[in-house]
Amino acid sequence: MVEDGSYLYNEAQEEKNGEKTPDSLHEKCKTGIEELDRKLSGGIPVGNSVLMVGSSGSGKTTLSMQFLIDGARNGERGVFFTITEPLFKLIKNMENFSFYDKKLIEEGKVNIIDLRIISDRLGLDTEKYTVEDVNALLDVLKDIADELNVKRLVIDSITALCYRLQSKEMIRNFIFKLGASLASMDCTSILTSEVPPNEIKYSQYGTEEFIADGIIFLGDVNRRGDIIRTLQIIKMRGTAHSRTKSAMSISSKNGIELAPLLKSRE
Ligand SMILES: Nc1ncnc2c1ncn2[C@@H]1O[C@H](COP(=O)(O)OP(=O)(O)OP(=O)(O)O)[C@@H](O)[C@H]1O
Ligand SMILES: [Mg+2]
């Protein structure tokens, strides 16, 4: 028996009937992960900022990169701002996946930018930001996104950015400024959020989720001794979506894939 049977949204049927619900009026940004797009009734609503939450190794970076690569393949330029992994390591890891396409990077359809290098060029202390530093960084981030005319943007990770701020108040101000900045851009974004394993929380600092139009949680379940990766859409403004947990796999051949999660018989 499967857990993921309750949700059935049939766009084709709706179109056939000539009906247009408010949901179908939203333009969608396909993630490129077929089952995830189905669970989102077609994809992430264009313009949404989505928090991709999970513990270390849960697949946040891989899913975000797959989202950018798929967009680039379909003519949507993307930018990936990394602050957790050095560029060469990130690329080396991604080269293992068949979805990765070096050509898209070389042609500038997917731009990978190390925020530490930008901080360095701005003359900032890369480990500790002041209010002015973080504002300067946000301005550069927006300038890059506007200049490149990107339709998809990833920040990996928002947690690592907040970690460089010295007080809760600074983090709160930064998060709201980032939210306003993203809202003014013409793109759909994924912000990755690192949380401790086996905890139901969506952010390290408790404020990151306030600017998120959507939250996707990458977790684990234990099935008879095996640890299975899971994905669950917690919220997504602007669309009907499934809230059931799916089993998630990561493979070189197919990248991230979802499947129904079998109910435990234990
Ligand atoms: N080529 C591959 N084939 C199958 N699984 C892989 C492959 N490469 C990585 N993985 C799996 O994906 C996990 C890492 O995924 P990813 O880097 O996307 O996670 P993350 O959530 O971004 O982690 P972190 O918080 O450490 O940045 C690895 O721990 C490994 O289990
Ligand atoms: Mg990562």
Within 8 A by CB and 6+ apart from 211, the residues are 49, 175, 176, 178, 179, 182
Give start and end residues of each alpha helix (H) in 52-130. 60-73, 87-94, 102-106, 115-121
Using DSSP bridges, classify how beta strands 110-114 and 188-194 pair: parallel, antiparallel or unpaired. Answer: unpaired
**Range 21-260: architecture per CATH:** 3-Layer(aba) Sandwich (3.40)
Span from the CA of 58 to the centroid of ligand 1 (angstroms): 6
The whole-angstrom separation of Cα 9 and Cα 98 is: 30
Ligand 1 centre distance from Cα of residue 97 (Å)? 11
Ligand 1 contact, 57 CB (< 6 A): yes
Does the beta carbon of 251 lie inside 6 Å of ligand 1?
A: yes
The band of 11, judged by pLDDT with boundaries at 50, 70 and 90, is very low
Question: With 60 as the cut, is the pLDDT of residue 7 above it?
Answer: no
% of the chain with per-residue pLDDT over 70: 89
- The residue whose CB lies within 8 Å of the most ligand 1 atoms, and thus the one to mutate among 55, 58, 82, 252, is 58
Q: Residues 40-76: pLDDT tens digits?
A: 999 999 999 999 999 999 999 999 999 999 999 999 9
Q: How far apart are CA 86 and CA 89, in angstroms?
A: 5
Task: Give the residue whose CA is nearest to atom 16 of ligand 1.
Answer: 59
> Residue 108 — left, alpha, or beta (φ > 0 → left; ψ -120 to 50 → alpha)?
left
Q: Which amino acid is at 257?
A: E
Residue 23: the pLDDT is 52
The C-alpha atoms of residue 256 and residue 32 are separated, in whole angstroms, by 9
Closest atom of ligand 1 to CA, residue 56:
25
For residue 54 the two structure tokens come to 């999970």
Is the minimum distance from the CB of 64 to ligand 1 under 6 angstroms? no
With H, G, I as helix, E, B as strand and everything else as coil, classify residue 134. Answer: helix
Query: What is the pLDDT averaged over residues 84-91?
Result: 91
Residue burial 2-15, b: 16+ Cβ < 10 Å; e: rest: eebeeeebeeeeee
**pLDDT for 155-184, tens place per residue?**
999 999 999 898 889 998 999 999 999 999
Stretch 186-205: mean pLDDT = 91
Give the mean pLDDT of 208-224: 91
Q: Probe ligand 1: pick from 33, 250, 252, 257, max atoms within 8 Å of CB? A: 250
Which ligand ends up closest to the CA of 193? 1
pTM listed for this prediction: 0.89
pLDDT at 25: 57
Provide DSSP, 235-255: EETTS----S-EEEEEETTTE
Q: From CA 24, how far away is CA 29, in angstroms rounded?
A: 13
62 lines ligand 1 (CB under 6 A): yes
